[in-house]
Amino acid sequence: MNARAYSRLVHPVIAGLIAIAYSFIGWIEIRGVMHLPASATWFLTLAVLAPLLCGSLLTGGLHECMHLSFFGVLPGARRSLRRWHCGVLAGIAVVLGGLSLWRTHDTPVEATIGLCAIFLTLPLLNRRGSQSPRRLFSLVGCLLLGCALFDLVGARLYSLAMAAPWAIFAAGLFIAAFCLRVGFDRKRVRGRAGRPFRSAATGISVMFTKHGRMMQAKTVAEAQSRSQRIGRDWPLESVDGSAWDWLRVLLHEHFGQQGRFVWLAGVCVVMAVFAAMPVAISLLIERLAEPGANSAQFCEIVATFGRTGSFPGHSPVMAMLALMFLMPYWIVLVLALTPLPMSRIAYPLSRRRLAWLNFLLSLRMLGVGYAAQVCGVFATVELAGLLAGIPFRFENMQAQAALLLLQLPLLPLLRIIALTRRRAYGIVSLILFMLLFVAFTLPGTIERIVPCLSWLTAGGSLAVSAFVAWIYWRRLLRRYSTSDLNQPIGMIQVLVAP
Amino acid sequence: MNAVTATSAAPTVAPFAARGITKRYGSLVALNDVTLEIPAGRIVGLLGRNGAGKTTLLNIVSGIVLPSAGSAATFGVPTDRLDTPQLTRLGVVQQEGGMISWMTVRQHLDFNASFYPSWDRKLEQRLLGELELDPKRRIVQLSTGDRQKAGLLLGLCHRPALLVLDEPMSALDPIVRARALDLLIERLRDDGCTVLVSSHILNDVEKIVDRVICLDQGEVVADAAFDELQETYAEWILSSPAGTLPTAYPEPFVLSHHGDARQARLRVRTNEFEAAEKFASDYGAQVQRRPLNLEEIFPLLANSRKDVR
């Protein structure tokens, strides 16, 4: 194996860009939320956050290869991968150590390198055993818990690094050696074969591309072939010309295996969990920070924040509560960017009617996701208000309404992006999401945003949404009228000008 | 030749007609200026090498793929405007997929049956038996051959007026293949169905087709009745006891030859019976004429594009 082969596996440019972007966001968050001195902020970013991101992304590429069945028969592949990976990780640790030395003169570099060694190699222990949707939940849960833990112990870790740098250095090398040994262990590597896995860097490298959608379709087909579930029987004797009947046909084709309401229920549960999770974690932080804190006071904070967007002071609790609005939005964003699968059945339907049915399907998918999100957030806030004994007042919901309505026109817009499969638009929307996250969690931002949005009444937002939805329908119709239909809708190209 | 003629009255509109259609996928030209018409009540064989454009043409017939240039009409309606009245008369058996993998065969049959008012449950039951397909099995678990059987069932049971088959029998065993061929002939006899079938198993195609369209590199190189092709292409076996046969034959109708000075086998393209006698006298040899089967004719069609044109 040479450098070129290794770099093909780990996508160094993408991994590097993502690591830099997220480390930067992390740096802003640590500075804005944890209120640590500059040297501690740089230390935690360079010794913990950046190596963890780099290690996860690079190791993901290796694991992707190890999970292929042919990896076991490649002569010497395991050893040469280990050699290359060790070298690259050592290089990254030295670079991060150098950066730390440059930015923080009073922080011992040996502690930085020791922690770098731990966090660069820790992802090697990830077994990536399952590709099921449950994995997403556990991943998000781990991420949030990790953030909470980081909030709690970050400052103490910095103090420890200052006090005992050589001990951290020695412990770091020992743990790294252990991780490398276990991560490249022959038995464990063999155990990975045959369980397909795709790394984040690969996923991002093919995101919004035709190739990526083909991979997505293949993953779905593989999951379907593994499933033993027999779907529902088709209930209709005959399908008349109504759109409702045909909508049932398409829904049965796409979701018939899961059952009639399973998909809807799944979306609602996901939204509720995603809305409630930041609240639960912020409660945990509050309890850990102030053991004697009153639940009613916490509920009051949640209700006040949820209804008005205002919050006395600024703390990790505030950042977590801001996530309450953003977490479900992420799911809706994914729904909005997911292209509808083009049917492979040659239905006796005109292209225009197929377009109309797919338009209705899109609206249903987004509508359900959005409604579940709105309900999830409202329910969480109102429940907290109820527990805090704050009476419900409609006019107090301005912040909630403004933030949630703001997203509405975005949804058909994102469907247009998914349809036109402009990669740049997709990437820009993801960057926007990251910026929103940063903006929401920094002091005073929400208080400034809410008055700016006050002009956007419910009616105005609905009108803008309807207009964008109409553009989406025109685009969809054009696509269906002028394209080959033997590929998923996201992949089809407009061939003839209408 | 087992040409079968429809018993019902021929409709006035051709089931499919194309005029100058071209299909490009980026820089790749899959079809280039193709003009043809599929006559009603016939079984038409669509032949061609891999990548010749057969599947693209079949997808254009069913309106799934649109031509980049030219015009195509199925049942007289432009293929981009096909609607329920035309599509319910069309049966499509796709080369791959075209089925919902999570369903059982029975569920899929019930699902498809609901779209077609003319779905024939008796025919469905009979075909399940004849093709030896278990309706309780899931599509995803079927072997390639069984999947093709399921595809045939889904394409045939609504008694289409035009049946488009893309490699429908490549994975079937010889016994089931023979039954499937009989079924196609039966459909033609009973319903006057027009069949457009693409296949590489030319021995099978030969048994049922009465017209052959051959594509090469996206162009039609032959569009003729199978009888006509058999009359046009032949093998001449030349014998010269004196050993006077040449090593090359300059006559334009000689497409290929091999042999020696005493005996040679020539593949020729001529339907003039006198030509053989004249040829024999010119070379001082005896000539035996042998008709070619489709498998022997096909390479001549595919490899001699310019000659044919």
| Domain ranges within chain A, ordered by starting residue | 3-205, 243-482
- Alpha-helical segments (H) within A45-183: 50-66, 77-103, 109-121, 133-163, 165-183
Query: Which of B221, B216, B198 minimizes the C-alpha distance to B49?
Result: B216
The minimum CA-CA distance between A227 and chain B, rounded to whole Å, is: 9
- Of the residues A233, A350, A477, A483, the best mutation for testing chain B's interface (the one with the most B CB atoms within 10 Å of its CB) is A350
Measured CA to CA, the distance from residue B55 to residue B46 in angstroms comes to 9
What lies within 8 Å, CB to CB, of A178 at 6+ separation is none
| C-beta atoms of A256 and B59 within 8 A | no
Residue B265 has pLDDT above 60, yes or no: yes
Planar angle of CA B180, B206, B268, nearest 5 degrees: 170
pLDDT score, position A250: 83
Give the Cα-Cα-Cα angle A226, A230, A234 (nearest 5 degrees).
140
Q: In the prediction, which pLDDT does A76 show? A: 79
Give chain A positions within 8 Å (CB) of B87.
Answer: 346-350
Q: What is the ipTM of this complex?
A: 0.77
> What is the C-alpha to C-alpha distance for residues A99 and A42, in angstroms, rounded to an integer?
9
Give the pLDDT band (50/70/90) at residue B58: very high
Strands B211-216 and B43-48: parallel
**Does B306 have pLDDT greater than 80?**
no
Read off the amino acid at residue A371: A
Comparing CB atoms, the residue among A231, A344, A482 nearest residue B66 is: A482
CATH code, B229-308 = 3.30.70
Predicted confidence at residue B109, as pLDDT, reads 92
Alpha helices in B136-173 (DSSP H): 144-156
* Minimum CA–CA partner of A252 in chain B: B111
Within 8 A of B94 by CB-CB distance, chain A residues are 344, 346
Pick among 3.40.50.300, 3.30.420.10, 1.10.10.10, 1.10.1740.110: CATH of B16-217: 3.40.50.300
Helix (H) or strand (E) holding B268, with range, is strand B263-269
Answer for the pair A419, A479: CB distance below 8 angstroms, yes or no: yes
Cβ atoms of residues B140 and B150 within 8 Å: no
Instruction: Tell me the C-alpha distance between A86 and B193, whole Å.
Output: 68
Task: Tell me the mean pLDDT per 10 residues along chain A, length 498.
Answer: 79 86 79 75 88 90 84 80 92 91 83 91 80 64 73 80 89 93 87 78 73 69 68 83 86 74 70 68 62 68 71 59 64 66 75 88 80 76 80 67 68 71 64 69 64 63 81 86 71 41
Among partner residues B81, B88, B100, which is closest to A348 by beta-carbon distance?
B88
* Helix (H) / strand (E) containing B17: strand B16-25
- The C-alpha angle with vertex A32 and arms to A30 and A38, in degrees rounded to 5, equals 65
Q: pLDDT by residue (tens digit) across B179-192?
A: 888 888 887 788 88
- The DSSP 8-state label assigned to residue A122 in this structure reads G
For residue B160, the chain A residue with the least C-alpha distance is: A348
Rounded to a whole number, what is the distance in Å from the CA of A12 to chain B's nearest CA? 31
- The radius of gyration computed from the CA coordinates of chain B, to the nearest angstrom, equals 22
Which pLDDT value is given to residue A424? Answer: 65
A346·B90 Cβ contact <8 A = yes
Query: With pLDDT > 90 as the criterion, what percentage of chain B qualifies?
Result: 31
Q: Which of B101, B104, B107 sits opposite A224 (nearest CB)?
A: B101
What's the confidence (pLDDT) of residue A209?
67
A344, A481, A496: residue with CB nearest B98: A344
Is residue B149 within 8 A of residue B133, CB to CB? The reply is yes
Give the separation between CA A271 and CA A269, rounded to whole angstroms.
5
Q: So where are chain B's domains?
A: 16-217, 229-308
Query: How close A480 gets to chain B, by Cα (Å)?
Result: 9
> Looking at CA atoms only, how far is residue A246 from chain B in angstroms?
9
CA distance B174 to A84: 55
Q: Which amino acid is at B56?
A: T
Residue of chain B with shortest Cα separation from A225: B140
Q: How far does the CA of residue B45 sit from the closest CA of chain A (Å)? A: 22
Long-range CB contacts for residues B257-263, cutoff 8 Å, separation at least 24? B263/B237, B263/B238, B263/B239
Residues of B in contact with A226 (CB under 8 A): none
The pLDDT assigned to A121 comes to 92
Residue B15 has pLDDT above 90, yes or no: yes
Which residues does chain B have within 8 Å of residue A259's beta carbon, measured at their own beta carbons? none
B110–chain A nearest CA distance, Å: 7
In this complex, the residue of B66, B92, B103 whose CB is nearest that of residue A484 is B66
Q: Which helix (H) or strand (E) holds A420?
A: helix A410-420
- Please tell me which of the candidates B80, B84, B107 has its beta carbon nearest to residue A234: B107
Residues A34 and A25: their CA atoms lie apart, in Å, by 13
Of the candidates A224, A231, A346, which has its C-beta nearest B92's C-beta? Answer: A346
Residue of B nearest to A229 (CA): B102
By C-alpha distance, the chain B residue nearest A236 is: B114
With contacts defined as CB-CB under 8 Å, which chain B residues touch A353?
83
Residue type, A182: V
Name the residue among A230, A239, A482 with its Cβ closest to that of B138.
Answer: A230
Q: Is pLDDT of B73 > 80?
A: yes
Distance CA A392, CA A147 (A): 32
Are B59 and A484 within 8 A, CB to CB?
A: yes
Mean pLDDT of B89-114: 85
Q: Cα angle at A289 between A286 and A292, to 5 degrees?
A: 80
The CA distance from A373 to A367, in Å, is: 10
Interchain contact, B102 vs A349, CB within 8 Å: no
Chosen for mutation from A477, A493, A495, A496 (greatest number of chain B CBs closer than 10 Å) is A495
In DSSP terms, B36 is beta-bridged to: B18
Amino acid at A312: P
Collect all residues from A whose CB is shorter than 8 A from any CB in B: 221, 224-225, 227, 229-231, 233-234, 236-239, 241, 249, 252-253, 256-257, 344-351, 353, 481-486, 495-496
Are A234 and B99 an interchain contact pair (Cβ–Cβ within 8 Å)?
no
- Report the amino acid identity of residue A309: G
The reported pLDDT for the residue numbered B101 is: 78
Sheet holding B211-216, edge to edge: B90-93, B162-166, B194-198, B43-48, B211-216, B219-225
* Cβ distance of B87 and A496 shorter than 8 Å: no
A-to-B residue pairs, Cβ atoms closer than 8 angstroms: 93
SS3 of residue B78 by DSSP: strand
What's the CA dihedral at A398, A402, A403, A404 to 10 degrees? Answer: 100
Q: How far apart are CA B137 and CA B140, in angstroms?
A: 9
The fraction of chain B above a pLDDT of 70, given in percent, is 93
Residue B300 confidence (pLDDT) above 50: yes
Numbered residues of chain B with Cβ closer than 8 Å to any chain A Cβ: 59, 62-66, 68, 80-84, 87-88, 90, 92, 94, 97-104, 107, 110-112, 114-117, 138, 140
